[in-house]
Structure 1
């Protein structure tokens, strides 16, 4: 939400824009939060730059140099090229919304160029490290059911290539079939994810051990008090495991998703299949993994994944 960094009229329409992104455009909560932070930073900069909080009409008077000064400030603050590119996208999106709904227009923003974001190579774990991470989750807690919960969660991230948010949004009644599940990814897009037998069995063990009725709660993964599990809990668990195994800081819950894709590719997984499994809208995003492994792509998921066969 936009609070004390703009005039009331601009706060109102900006919050309306954020609500529209979330509920009409179905953009993920994390992305909308990022857009909100970008715009708050922009409004705070304008307040400092001009000496007063901006309103809707003030946005029409901005010059190209004002936008460039904001981007220069963000760069001096240490933002990466990708973060600056997102800031430009955020501000452009707001101005499009203002033009279409309130006839507020400023052509100066059109001359801004997005910096070319550096294509980062995903940081995957080795197969050995990924399996050690998963198996260690049971050993770092005194509570049996929490150990089984964390084991099932991490195994699902690695065995299905899910984002942490996707895994934590799964409802218990979605497990009606043993071999597949439909998850909701970025932008509300749904995709079918195969569930390996070892993953399904681990989830069932957790459900049986959990002291809460997960079908009544309707959240598959819950915390100590029975509330939907917070991502921070999984991240803390990974930090403990990382310390025990002397793994680098790049070992995160999300790195299990990277490991899923990397190990499939190394095993001969088809790039298009991996794209669908990960829920990438663009093949170019999936092609980042070819920088890690360049093995010939011929096989499909069941034959390629290192955990496809039960031990």
Structure 2
């Protein structure tokens, strides 16, 4: 029960099996298996917060009293506290999945999220480095990689990660889950992706060569994973975030304050989506990013505000 807030842990000591905390524990043992650590943490946190709210407004934790009105009140409370629409939708998704499990197992007669829809969110144009910006980032990463006297260069590894994310469109969690034996030819095979999907991803020849150099000359041995830390352990996402931030800072060294660049792993996935859409079409971009629907890929066909203004000025 370490995932639940401390106040709920106090409830757990005296709870019945038909109370929400006990059912949340059972739900995670039976239903939410094989999810990524990030997904597990998010869902556990979301359900823990809802559990506290439910107890605060009802004075009990009995699942039989759980109704859609409770969820609506919770969402209204989140909005009043300033939670963004995306955050509210994520928490609603966690409660909805838990509610489906409760309904299927006969703990409730009405789905607690019945008739409750996600908050509409205007996704807008994804943030991604433009070609000139990516060139500066790549150059900065190369300089960092070559200006080191160490054989097992973490800077060289960071450059390879930058290029691999840009070339593959993978999420950072997906890339860091890849093991040495999964790279065969010019493809990553059987990559565990979001939503429990497993797929294979082709990458560019130049990226394959970089990875080969990294593995043969710069990778610290110890773990079975492709990208390792300086101690040979599986690399974590926080380290990658920090490394990309340093690359962006180096690339922005001589730029004006308003031109300074920021960079995080998902921006490179966005860039891959844009470039895939430009190279062929939305269907190809969807396949590259692992989306079953074209709804998300539609974002990569939109113009930025600056591009839209340029187009408008050309209209007679």
1:98 and 2:106 are equivalent in the alignment: no
Counterparts of 1:185 and 1:211, CA distance in 2:
24
Secondary structure (helix, strand or coil) at the match of 1:191 reads strand
1:200 to 208, 213, 216: 208
Change (3 A) 1:27 1:44: same
Q: Note closer, same or farther for the CA distance 1:18–1:151 as it changes in structure 2 (3 Å cut).
A: same
Within the candidate set 252, 276, 288, 1:277 is matched to 288
Give the conservation status (yes or no) of the 8 Å contact 1:192–1:277: no
| 8 Å contact kept, 1:42–1:70 | yes
* Residue matched to 1:72: 76
Question: 1:109 aligns to what SS in structure 2?
Answer: coil
Q: Tell me: higher relative CO, structure 1 or 2? Use CA pairs within 8 A at least 6 residues apart.
A: 1
Match of residue 22 from structure 2: 12
Task: Tell me what 1:87 maps to.
Answer: 91
Provide the C-alpha distance between the structure 2 equivalents of 1:169 and 1:194, rounded to a whole number of angstroms.
16
Aligned residues: 283
The answer to whether residue 42 in structure 2 is matched with residue 30 in structure 1 is no
CA contact (8 A) 2:162 2:244 kept: no
TM-score by length of 1: 0.81
Q: Of 46, 60, 63, which residue of structure 1 is paired with 2:64?
A: 60
Alpha-carbon deviation of 1:184?
2.1
Q: Which residue of 1 aligns with 2:266?
A: 254
Say if 2:66 and 2:112, in contact at 8 Å, map to a contact too. yes
Separation of aligned partners in 2, 1:276 and 1:102 = 38
TM-score of the two chains, using structure 2 as the length reference:
0.80
Once the two structures are TM-superposed, the CA of residue 21 in structure 1 deviates from its matched residue by 4.2
Pairing 1:181–2:188 present: yes
Q: Is the 8 A contact 2:137 2:248 kept in 1?
A: yes
Unaligned 5+ segments in structure 2 are: 253-258, 305-316
CA distance, structure 1, for counterparts of residue 28 and residue 261 of structure 2: 33
Q: What secondary structure is seen at the aligned counterpart in 1 of 2:231?
A: coil
Gaps in structure 1 of 5+ consecutive residues? 294-311
The question of whether the paired residues in 1 share the 8 Å contact of 2:167 and 2:207 is answered with yes
Distance 1:108 1:154, change over 3 A: closer
SS of the aligned residue for 2:199 comes to strand
Post-superposition offset of 1:90: 1.6
